[in-house]
Amino acid sequence: MKINVTVNGTAHEADIEPRTLLVHFIRENLNLTGTHIGCDTSHCGACTILLDGQSVKSCTILAVQANDKTIQTIEGMAANGLHPLQEGFHENHGLHCGYCTPGMIMRASELLANNPNPTEDEIRWGISGNLCRCTGYNNIVKSIQYASAKMRGETPASTEPQFV
């Protein structure tokens, strides 16, 4: 089947099998390998992308369903430099192995679009569809808070680790 999709601002036309998963289309047809596969059953969130601005799990959507839609992946997060979320994850040690990070960032970007100043609890629930096996989530929460402050034009809290 022929589909037309705009990915990170670039229009693509492709001819694909209907069963092609959106994540495979993004990774293999478009060679955008920043979007990862972690579980196959829509539980881990590593494959999260934005479809028409909404965060979705691209392992559980068919590429044909993205016809005439726009997609944003981690590669399209910032045209120049870093997006505040990318910066936040770096500054606050919000990643270890980096495998869940793109999905986490894509999910967080919609979270902040809908709720520019989320509480810690709202952030935790907001990323409950994204598993991270490395960080224990504390610093992911902190990373998103950092981006949230920055995007609201405020000065983010210190990125130095706090110890008891």
Take residue 128 and report the two structure tokens written for it: 């409950």
First to last CA, the chain: 58
Residues between 113 and 152 that touch other proteins (CB under 8 A)? 120, 123-141
Residues between 27 and 46 that touch other proteins (CB under 8 A)? 27-28, 31-46
Residue 156 binding other proteins, by CB under 8 A: no
Residue 7 binding other proteins, by CB under 8 A: no
Alpha-carbon dihedral sign for residues 61, 72, 97, 138: negative
Q: Which is nearer to other proteins, 6 or 42 (CB)?
A: 42
For residues 47 to 86, the per-residue mask of contacts with other proteins, x marking binding by CB under 8 A and - elsewhere, is -x-----xxxx--xxx-xx-x-----xxx-xx---x---x
Q: How far apart are CA 115 and CA 44, in angstroms?
A: 22
Q: Report in angstroms how near the CB of residue 15 gets to other proteins at its nearest.
A: 13
Q: How far apart are CA 69 and CA 6, in angstroms?
A: 6
